[in-house]
Amino acid sequence: MIKLDSEYYISSDGTQYILNKKYITQPKQEDKQGKETISIEGYYSTLKGCTKGYYDKKIKSFVSTSEEQEFTSIVNYMKEIEDEIDRLIGVKVN
């Protein structure tokens, strides 16, 4: 398993790479805690494809925030994610 950040990680079943996301569900009652859940975000035939999937999801999440952003801040964030992927697993996204 390759941990990408606090939410995302990559696993494999031996035939493909799987992009997974951990999240905490909302508790149904006030006195209970949320439950950690793992969702499958995508299946990929290559590690590079899987890292591109992660990259796309991170960028879309950043862009979809409710506040207005300058284009340069998005470009800078894209570079941050690219550098982080390269640092973690040595795979160039682009």
16 pLDDT tier (thresholds 50, 70, 90): very high
Per-residue pLDDT, 42: 96
Q: Which residue has the higher pLDDT, 91 or 42?
A: 42
For residues 16 and 43, is the Cβ–Cβ distance under 8 A?
A: yes
| Average model confidence (pLDDT) across the chain | 87
